[in-house]
Structure 1
């Protein structure tokens, strides 16, 4: 089945192929796939080595995975198909036919596979714990930028390219550490501040650490910000010269002849992120200033929780209850888990009852599946605070009877005016060429004229007639092309002439036509 065409929102084919390298970590056999990738990435010596399916099977057996060589070969072929591994071009040495058949296919790690598995290991080793912001990097970044800003043209020309590249790369390594730690800290902080189930003891410990740390963090950023922004502004005009000198040393060339990628900061485009973080740009503040505002918002959210605990208001949060329920499910057998499910959620087995909805205002019957029915409207108080009590008086029911009667009277008057206009036009039956009408009759005549031409479907030719019957009247309007003869419509609003056209009001009732 072909995928739907979604225009510019679809990923390019090359990017979708790269993302295929992530598939092995989400399969049912992910444990064995990760163990296989660890045999290629676990040691530095494994990065340049190639292995056969038999050798990988032996290493997996040492880790507790008992897989046949054929199964391992299938898993290795899957990783080759998705770009994590590649078949080695080295010929296998074998002393027997059996050894040759076992070792004929050898596999080695690809650059994409090493990058993906490094991210997988980092994700598996990640813990939901707090991480401090690396504010100590601010001083190092400032020192490096000041040193680069003191280099004039003769000093840049005399500088050693490798030493200059080292100084620039050091500044950006510290900058990346600062940015990544700041993101991790605020991600953790947002998960804690939204919880309503913190008791007094947990809140006290969290408050003390958070307030003290956030205050030190904000003070550290505020102390370095003016100097860092000034240093960045001073260095930026010389970035192109610095990068050109740093890249003038001996460089690694790829097999296709292109220059290999270097560390961040050695390309002038890399400095845009540094400028945005410490200085900002047109119409936007610096990211460092945004970090300080986030700290203020975090303290404000902390005070909201403090006020909740001090006033004794207990918002309904199910965070702790859900963790307890999940632990019960994990420890229960099948029968106990089914009983626990029914008790916790009230979802018993279906009874196949069928009856129509009683309320015309609610056309969805109670027996309709949740998958196919619209979402229920949950009141804000119930959704946010778990409060089921409706506060305040019930609003007075509005009476729209007077408004409805006024609209009906207005509609009736409009129909009377239209009937009068139809009658006025009908009195011109048998008198083509000149029509004297009121403004309302003229508007209605033009409406009928447009309907006649639209119903004809093509331009009027010689002898063609475009006709339209008047609604509720015993006449029709006929439009004919008559070269040399015009139709003049006169009304209080003005005089209109239709060139080479004749509008004729003709009776549709035979008694009128013959009378």
Structure 2
């Protein structure tokens, strides 16, 4: 069924009908409807059972709901109309007319109703607390992809379909846990960072936890991202064969003959989300790299809060004050609430006395109702800050020169370290092969490798290359280029104090940006050596 005249931008009729299943949880009788749905979904035995209105009423009475059978039957009919329940086709056996009238309609749970109520219960049990990112799933995802990568076409053809489906299902379950926990963490983070009612102690505790946790999170992403990207590229050509073999086992078919849905990951289309998260696409960076950028944005927002606190809390949130005032209203009686309202907002009952204005320049008297009079000119200080007194001289400006100098020195030191790391990489001319470099140079090399792979936009095939240009550094005045080549059977091994990084079937080379500048540099070095020999 479809909408005969759909409006541009509007939801189709079928989707609007599906959303009707959420109505019971937001209406005036939501408590009763939720209690009824819990009777059908609370225990596993209720999923395959049907109940009459009298049976539902008896269960509700035990919970303290005083409803008659006709009212319960109306509630059940409402849930049937919106797709949460369905009338059972089972015939009832009655020994009297009264029993038949009570049990003439029996109700059972629908698939849509069970899914909607599961979401409702999850929302009711949700709390606005921090949730850690499941970074431990990165190692499991890498191990699962590694196991699938070791299966060639012959191994896939003889693999156990159920075992293969179990491996793929586990892999995607871990990926879903990682993605959902990352979204929850950043959602919670955004709610805290925009608050202006954090005092110094709260800010100090939050800053320490945030900086430490975010740094570890970003390090975990950076450590696993290159390996996961490479393994995904290797597994991608065999994804259709893997899914076909996993789906070759015994399958459940619906009453209409269609094959039932299976675990996520057993359809080749499901792998696009995994690929987009760790590899990206043409002109699009990976979601994992976006997560690292969000960490930088969080640090920037943290500095905004720090600047607000350091400047004397000029921007303040009244969130805490409003909560306190609301609690007073909640516990006050009627007379006290009116007095509290007048004291808090200055809004008293209307008492207007009309008389002529004393000032001819202002024809509107001070006692005229604001409902029918033009807007008054209110000074900026009074309108924004509520200050009625004339302000004195401006206060002394804060001196941030020391803080600025410290930040500039810190930035220059970071640039020098980066330039030294790039110069160290540039000294390894040609294919790196097996090289030993510092931790800083290893980090810069992985960043350049990631930029080269993202700029290529597609997996490297045999003989294909991806490169990224680097500006002039010490030892390479004309700049240099990092090139990543697909070379089956040959790889690159980088050793640093932090560990050993091995790139299988990939050759990383350092080449000058222009061979003319490189040749001039070599000739200059040769002439200098001859001068030294002549001097000697």
| Structure-1-length-normalised TM-score | 0.68
Checking the alignment, whether the CA contact within 8 Å between 2:40 and 2:109 is kept in structure 1 is yes
The alpha-carbon distance between structure 1 residues 290 and 231, as it changes in their structure 2 partners (threshold 3 A), is same
Matches of 1:91 and 1:379, distance apart in 2: 76
Checking the alignment, whether the CA contact within 8 Å between 1:247 and 1:266 is kept in structure 2 is yes
Cα distance per residue 1:132-172 (max 9 Å; x no partner)? 00111000011111111111110110011111111111111
The alpha-carbon distance between structure 1 residues 277 and 382, as it changes in their structure 2 partners (threshold 3 A), is farther
The alpha-carbon distance between structure 1 residues 295 and 341, as it changes in their structure 2 partners (threshold 3 A), is same
Checking the alignment, whether the CA contact within 8 Å between 2:53 and 2:105 is kept in structure 1 is yes
The alpha-carbon distance between structure 1 residues 348 and 263, as it changes in their structure 2 partners (threshold 3 A), is farther
Residue in 2 that maps onto 1:148: 148
Residue in 2 that maps onto 1:108: 108
Residue in 2 that maps onto 1:158: 158
* Bigger radius of gyration: 1
The alpha-carbon distance between structure 1 residues 331 and 148, as it changes in their structure 2 partners (threshold 3 A), is same
Decide which of 365, 371, 378 is 1:367's aligned counterpart.
Answer: 371
Cα distance per residue 1:24-63 (max 9 Å; x no partner)? 0011010000000000000000000000011111111111
Residue 235 of structure 1: how far off its partner (Å): 1.2
The alpha-carbon distance between structure 1 residues 390 and 69, as it changes in their structure 2 partners (threshold 3 A), is farther
The alpha-carbon distance between structure 1 residues 94 and 219, as it changes in their structure 2 partners (threshold 3 A), is same
Residue in 2 that maps onto 1:11: 11
The alpha-carbon distance between structure 1 residues 69 and 353, as it changes in their structure 2 partners (threshold 3 A), is farther
Residue 88 of structure 1: how far off its partner (Å): 0.3
Residue 102 of structure 1: how far off its partner (Å): 0.9
The alpha-carbon distance between structure 1 residues 155 and 80, as it changes in their structure 2 partners (threshold 3 A), is same
Matches of 1:386 and 1:238, distance apart in 2: 69
Please tell me whether residue 235 in structure 1 is matched to residue 235 in structure 2.
yes
Please list, as runs of the form range in 1=range in 2, the aligned pairs for 1:11-410 lying within 5 A after superposition: 11-350=11-350, 366-367=370-371
Structure 2 SS opposite 1:108: strand
Cα distance per residue 1:408-449 (max 9 Å; x no partner)? xxxxxxxxxxxxxxxxxxxxxxxxxxxxxxxxxxxxxxxxxx
The alpha-carbon distance between structure 1 residues 30 and 229, as it changes in their structure 2 partners (threshold 3 A), is same
Checking the alignment, whether the CA contact within 8 Å between 1:195 and 1:317 is kept in structure 2 is yes
Matches of 2:266 and 2:378, distance apart in 1: 55
Checking the alignment, whether the CA contact within 8 Å between 2:54 and 2:102 is kept in structure 1 is yes
Q: Which region of structure 1 is more displaced relative to structure 2, 333-342 or 26-35?
A: 333-342
Checking the alignment, whether the CA contact within 8 Å between 2:130 and 2:185 is kept in structure 1 is yes
Residue 94 of structure 1: how far off its partner (Å): 2.2
The alpha-carbon distance between structure 1 residues 334 and 152, as it changes in their structure 2 partners (threshold 3 A), is same
Cα distance per residue 1:353-404 (max 9 Å; x no partner)? 999xx89xxxxx95279xxx99x99999988x999999999xxxxxxxxxxx
Matches of 1:272 and 1:352, distance apart in 2: 70
Checking the alignment, whether the CA contact within 8 Å between 1:316 and 1:386 is kept in structure 2 is no
Structure 1 SS opposite 2:262: coil
Q: Which runs of 5+ in 1 are unaligned?
A: 360-364, 394-515
The alpha-carbon distance between structure 1 residues 62 and 219, as it changes in their structure 2 partners (threshold 3 A), is same
Residue 298 of structure 1: how far off its partner (Å): 0.9
Structure 1 SS opposite 2:8: helix
Residue 293 of structure 1: how far off its partner (Å): 0.9
Q: Which runs of 5+ in 2 are unaligned?
A: 357-361, 364-368, 395-536
Matches of 2:392 and 2:288, distance apart in 1: 44
Matches of 2:382 and 2:142, distance apart in 1: 50
What is the RMSD of the two structures over their aligned residues, measured on CA atoms? 3.3
Please list, as runs of the form range in 1=range in 2, the aligned pairs for 1:446-465 lying within 5 A after superposition: none
Checking the alignment, whether the CA contact within 8 Å between 1:88 and 1:106 is kept in structure 2 is yes
Cα distance per residue 1:335-366 (max 9 Å; x no partner)? 322332333333444568999xx89xxxxx95
Matches of 1:266 and 1:353, distance apart in 2: 79
The alpha-carbon distance between structure 1 residues 125 and 379, as it changes in their structure 2 partners (threshold 3 A), is farther
Q: Which region of structure 1 is more displaced relative to structure 2, 32-41 or 8-17?
A: 8-17
Checking the alignment, whether the CA contact within 8 Å between 2:162 and 2:249 is kept in structure 1 is yes
Structure 1 SS opposite 2:196: coil
Structure 2 SS opposite 1:8: coil
Residue in 2 that maps onto 1:399: none
Matches of 1:314 and 1:57, distance apart in 2: 58
The alpha-carbon distance between structure 1 residues 7 and 379, as it changes in their structure 2 partners (threshold 3 A), is farther
Matches of 1:168 and 1:184, distance apart in 2: 24
Matches of 2:103 and 2:14, distance apart in 1: 32
The alpha-carbon distance between structure 1 residues 41 and 314, as it changes in their structure 2 partners (threshold 3 A), is same
Matches of 2:153 and 2:352, distance apart in 1: 85
Residue 308 of structure 1: how far off its partner (Å): 2.8
Structure 2 SS opposite 1:255: coil
Q: After TM superposition, where is structure 1 displaced by more than 6 Å over at least 4 residues in a row?
A: 352-355, 376-383, 385-393
Aligned residues: 379
